[in-house]
Amino acid sequence: MLSSLTREILQSLRFALEALGAYALFLVRLLKEVPRSLLRFGLVVEQVHNAGALSLVIIMLSGLFVGMVLGLQGFDLLERFGSEESLGSAAALGLLKELGPVVTALLFAGRAGTALASELGLMRATDQLAAMEMMAVDPVRRVVMPRFLGGVLSMPLLAAIFSLIGIYGAQLVGVQLMGVDTGQFWSQMRSTVELGDVMEGVIKSCVFGVACSLIAVYEGYHSVATAEGVGRATTRTVVISSVVVLLLDYLLTAAML
Amino acid sequence: MRVHGLHYSFAQRAIFGGVDLAIARGSVTAIMGPSGTGKTTLLRLITGQLQANRGVVEVEGQDVAGLSRAGIFRMRRRMGMLFQNGALLTDIDVYENVAFPLREHTRLPERLLRHVVLGKLQAVGLRGACRLMPAELSGGMARRVAIARAIVMDPQLLIYDEPFVGLDPISLGVVQRLIRRLNETLGLTSIVVSHEIRQLSAIADSCYLLSGGGVIAQGPPDALATDTREEVRQFMHGLPDGPVPFHYPAPDYVEQLRQLR
């Protein structure tokens, strides 16, 4: 009984390590293609539009609501200590360092990540990738790389927009609704938030951008060429991305504190 | 093109157990066989998408197994392949689909590229459809656009994987005529994988019949049609039962019904 359980755990561990190795090799292959892809930057810009611009509405709306909730909860908490004027600092630090990058990455995985995975999976299922191979065109270079780079470049921009809109949402609730002084709100924020805090968020969103884009293109490119295979690749993209983002968030936070 | 002693297995199932083929330059060669005999697999082996376990696949005197990835890509630039469903890129229109290999491999000025693309579309009768998206095309039209794309780099070898599947009689006639006409006018060597005997008999110079992991008959279409061997006769005349049985191997019928009870 125990030995079969141990065997299963060891096998799962082996699968996880194999998957990690496969992801690492795929990342190395993609990184080798970066210089060549930058020469055809038009393809990357197209994908920044697909992954970034088309995610703007959901990112802005979510940012606004998260900021508003932060404003409400923050006010409720700070009021208990008589320091509601610190709401601007609390909201800005929370959004720039943590919520902005993390929630953006989770939303990105759900919107752009699934779109990338299913698009590549469908291209595999309908022989479009095989047709490219037969035309002596490397699908990784022509199709996967621009999508990967588009995702990587979009994430920090989306996270920045999320945080800005979130701060506006917190201000809307805290100042306009709950009556926190406008001057106190902004001056506290300016005096507390440092460049290092902003950079922490930027670094996190860049790392999440690489992770989410890599997972999406890997799962889509390696999906089984059936309807079920494409569906599974899409689901795996969301699940793996979400877990990896939260894990990386802890590791990065611990490293940068 | 030459295939010699080809062995290939997949998931511990032997697909080929010693296939020999020789395809003459400038000919239209048909590769036929019942479903599941590995016709598409053979094409994938010829084009270097799969590696044989044993045996030699030679294209223009080069052993495909010995080529690097770059070498295989160089070889494929001289090949065109038509996939079963056309495999057109769905996010760009017909014109851009045909222009795709040119844009990837050449630096032709836009004006010259336009001449080449429209010329190829004219050859398949779809110049007027150049701004349609793949989703707006019928099956036959998609197949013709894929042919235009396959010939746009002026290949020496053109490979058709099941080009007649799912086509109405008119489209079928059009595609059949195109295969023969392109072969003659462009001086191509064509390999057509299909099980549409009537269409293949009309256009092929020679045929290979695959079954049971090997070539069971070869020669001109007329010779295969009059072959008296039972397995060849069953395929060529579409007989429902014979060496390829109607029933998939199963336990005794009555015994199985009793078990269910």
ipTM of the complex: 0.83
Interface test with A, best of B46, B49, B74, B89 (most A CBs within 10 A): B89
Q: Which residues contact B192 (CB under 8 A, 6 or more apart)?
A: B28, B29, B30, B31, B160, B163, B179, B200, B203, B204
pLDDT band for position B88 (50/70/90)?
very high
pLDDT at A60: 96
Query: Which comes out higher in pLDDT, residue B229 or A6?
Result: A6
pLDDT at B89: 94
Locate the chain A residue with the closest alpha carbon to B102. Answer: A135
B185, pLDDT greater than 80: yes
CB A104 within 8 A of CB A159: yes
Contact at CB, B49 and A134, closer than 8 angstroms: yes
Min distance B211 CA to chain A CA atoms (Å): 26
Q: Which of A126, A136, A138 sits opposite B87 (nearest CB)?
A: A126
pLDDT band for position B201 (50/70/90)?
confident
- Helices A195-221 and A145-171: crossing angle in degrees, nearest 10, is 140
Identity of residue A39: L
Give contacts of B77 with chain A, Cβ < 8 Å: 136
Torsion of CA B243, B249, B253, B255, to 10 degrees: 130
Q: From CA B155, how far away is CA A136, in angstroms rounded?
A: 12
A39 touches B at CB < 8 Å? no
Contact at CB, A137 and B104, closer than 8 angstroms: yes
Interface test with A, best of B46, B68, B104, B133 (most A CBs within 10 A): B104
Nearest Cα residue to B119 out of B102, B137, B132:
B102
Give contacts of A145 with chain B, Cβ < 8 Å: none
A1, pLDDT greater than 60: no
Q: Is A184 left (phi over 0), alpha (psi -120 to 50) or beta?
A: alpha
Contact at CB, A135 and B104, closer than 8 angstroms: yes
Q: pLDDT tens-digit profile of A8-25?
A: 999 999 999 999 999 999
The residue assigned the tokens 């160089």 is B74
Two structure tokens written together for B90? 């769905």
Rg value, chain A, Cα: 21
Locate the chain A residue with the closest alpha carbon to B92. Answer: A128
Torsion of CA A90, A93, A98, A103, to 10 degrees: 70
Chain B interface with A: residues with Cβ < 8 Å: 47, 49, 73-74, 76-77, 79-81, 83-85, 87-90, 100-101, 104-105, 149, 153
Average pLDDT over residues A207-230: 95
Which of A48-52, A138-142, B49-53 comes out lowest in average pLDDT? B49-53
Q: pLDDT tens-digit profile of A144-166?
A: 999 999 999 999 999 999 999 99
- Helices B139-151 and B110-123: crossing angle in degrees, nearest 10, is 130
CB B43 within 8 A of CB B6: no
Quick one: B70 exposed, middle or buried, by C-beta within 10 A (0-12, 13-18, 19+)? exposed
CB B81 within 8 A of CB B152: no
Is the Cα torsion angle A98, A153, A57, A122 positive or negative in sign?
negative
Identity of residue A144: V
A116-146 burial code (b ≥16 CB/10 A, e <16): bbbbbbbbbbbbbbbbbbbbbbbbbbbbbbb
Residue ranges of A 116-145 with Cβ closer than 8 A to chain B = 122, 126-128, 130-131, 133-138, 142
The values of phi and psi at residue A251, to 5°, are: -65, -45
pLDDT at B258: 85
Distance of CA A203 to the CA centre of its chain: 12
Quick one: A58 exposed, middle or buried, by C-beta within 10 A (0-12, 13-18, 19+)? middle
pLDDT band for position A2 (50/70/90)?
low
pLDDT at B142: 92
Give contacts of A138 with chain B, Cβ < 8 Å: 73
Two structure tokens written together for A206? 């860049």
Min distance B104 CA to chain A CA atoms (Å): 7
Average pLDDT over residues B157-172: 87
B93-128 burial code (b ≥16 CB/10 A, e <16): bbbbbbbbbbeeeeeeeeeebeebbbebbebbebbe
B242, pLDDT greater than 80: no
Q: pLDDT tens-digit profile of A90-102?
A: 999 999 999 999 9
Locate the chain B residue with the closest alpha carbon to A138. Answer: B73
pLDDT at B110: 94
